[in-house]
């Protein structure tokens, strides 16, 4: 979200008044809240579908996505609890055997049979624990694989959700390009979850984290990796790092390529129309191109001459 202080620090916006900066910041806040709220709802729906596909366990009515995921993955934790319970029983059994052994060593022949029975029980407990450990190892692998897959799918969904395609790109082509982008990213290395960083990282064949030279050698984010695939060719300008100057019109009817501000009665009306126009053309509100176009359109249409509101 853009703040007034952030906007003031941008030299491109030096000519805007405090009221105009405040209006832009407010628009950014409102727009972000709407977009994020909608996207979170979409992502949660996607997560739920992914969990159902992987585990075949249905979500309960009214159950939150986070609680749904915890319930599905709780099977692994229950196996850990069962194994730990057996270990406790084994420790108690070993102590019982040791106590009986002392009595036998002391010449108590009557307790020999009881000692044998307890030793047999101890052996059975050890066998059960070995079997539980084997099952637990497999469950851990399955748990980790499902959790990693869930994280990767969620990260790709978020990365694709931040893209804006050209207006002539159909839904079918968008879907195909997303799949192609995913394949291209995964072909560059293996994605794993870095517990220290708390995020997914891409590692090369040598196990080294792949870093982005254009971003101060920080580890590549999935969004950055996606934008470097062939999908960039079908993205709208401004979303893929580019941008061309938009033509504007101070009068006459509007078209797909021209912005008509003649109906704007106030600067607030004009600013809203300019912002909508730039976003429709694919310019990101946090890009320098967006604000260059924003300032140019205001100047060319003499928006500053209109009343504030």
Spans of all domains in the chain: 65-159, 166-235
Whether the pLDDT of residue 205 is over 60: the answer is yes
What's the whole-number mean pLDDT along residues 122-149?
85
What is the C-alpha separation between 141 and 147, in angstroms, rounded?
A: 10
**Beta bridge pairs of residue 235:** 165
What's the token pair of residue 268? 């607030």
Q: What is the pTM of this model?
A: 0.43
* Cβ–Cβ under 8 Å, residues 308 and 19: yes
The structure tokens listed for 106 are 């002391």
Q: Which residue has the higher pLDDT, 159 or 10?
A: 159
Most confident residue range from 4-8, 17-21, 161-165: 161-165
CA separation for the pair 97, 117 (Å, rounded): 9
161-184 residue pLDDT tens? 878 888 888 888 989 999 999 999
Half-sphere exposure of 52 (CA within 13 A, CB side): 10
Alpha-carbon Rg of the chain, whole angstroms? 31
What is the Cα–Cα distance from 299 to 20, expressed in whole angstroms?
A: 13
| Closest by CA position to 237, among listed 277, 274, 289 | 289
* CA 121/CA 155 separation, integer angstroms: 50
Strands 199-203 vs 211-212: parallel, antiparallel or unpaired: unpaired
DSSP 165: B
Say yes or no to pLDDT of 216 above 70. yes
pLDDT at 30 over 60: no
Q: Residue 200 and residue 185: Cα distance in Å, rounded?
A: 13
pLDDT value, residue 190: 92
pLDDT of residue 182: 92
Residue 43 or residue 97, greater confidence: 97
3-state secondary structure of 175: helix
């Amino acid at each position: 979200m853009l703040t007034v202080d952030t906007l003031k620090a941008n030299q491109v916006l030096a000519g805007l008044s405090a009221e105009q900066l405040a209006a832009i910041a407010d628009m950014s806040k409102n727009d972000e809240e709407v977009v994020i709220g909608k996207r979170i709802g979409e992502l949660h729906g996607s997560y739920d579908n992914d969990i159902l596909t992987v585990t075949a366990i249905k979500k309960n009515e009214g159950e939150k996505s986070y609680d749904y995921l915890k319930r599905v993955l709780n099977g692994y934790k229950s196996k850990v609890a069962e194994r730990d319970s057996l270990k406790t029983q084994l420790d108690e059994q070993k102590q019982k055997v040791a106590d009986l052994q002392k009595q036998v060593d002391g010449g108590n022949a009557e307790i020999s049979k009881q000692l044998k029975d307890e030793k047999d029980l101890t052996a059975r407990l050890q066998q059960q624990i070995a079997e539980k450990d084997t099952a637990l190892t497999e469950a851990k692998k399955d748990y980790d694989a499902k959790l990693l897959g869930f994280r990767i799918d969620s990260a790709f969904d978020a990365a694709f959700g931040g893209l804006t395609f050209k207006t002539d790109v159909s839904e079918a082509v968008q879907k195909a390009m997303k799949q192609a982008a995913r394949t291209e990213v995964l072909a560059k290395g293996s994605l794993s979850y870095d517990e220290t960083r708390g995020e997914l990282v891409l590692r090369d064949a040598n196990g080294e984290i792949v870093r982005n030279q254009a971003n101060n050698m920080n580890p590549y984010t999935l969004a950055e990796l996606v934008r470097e695939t062939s999908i960039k060719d079908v993205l709208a300008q401004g979303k893929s790092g580019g941008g061309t100057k938009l033509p504007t019109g101070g009068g006459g009817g509007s078209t797909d390529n021209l912005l008509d501000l003649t109906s704007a009665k106030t600067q607030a009306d004009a600013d809203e129309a300019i912002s909508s126009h730039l976003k429709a053309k694919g310019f990101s509100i946090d890009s320098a191109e967006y604000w260059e176009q924003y300032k140019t359109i205001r100047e060319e249409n003499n928006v500053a001459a209109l009343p504030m509101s």
